[in-house]
Amino acid sequence: MDRQCMRSPLARAMGLGSAKEGVEHWWMERVSAVALVPLTLWFVASIIAHTGSDYATFIGWLRTPLATIMMVLLLIALFYHTALGLQVIIEDYVHSAAKIPALVIMRLGCFALAAAGIVAAQRVLVRRHLTPQSHRALM
Query: pLDDT digits over 117-135, tens only?
Result: 999 999 988 876 556 666 5
CA trace torsion 112, 118, 120, 122 (10° rounding): -150
Full set of structural domains in the chain with CATH: 39-138 (1.20.1300)
Residues 47-61: tens digit of each pLDDT: 999 999 999 999 999
Any residues with CB less than 8 A from the CB of 129 and at least 6 apart, and which? 56, 59, 60
> 54: alpha, beta or left, given left = phi > 0 and alpha = psi -120 to 50?
beta
Report pLDDT for 22: 74
Q: Which band of pLDDT confidence, cut at 50, 70 and 90, is reported for residue 12?
A: low
Output the pTM of the full model. Answer: 0.76
pLDDT at residue 137, as a whole number? 61
Mean pLDDT of the region 4-10? 67
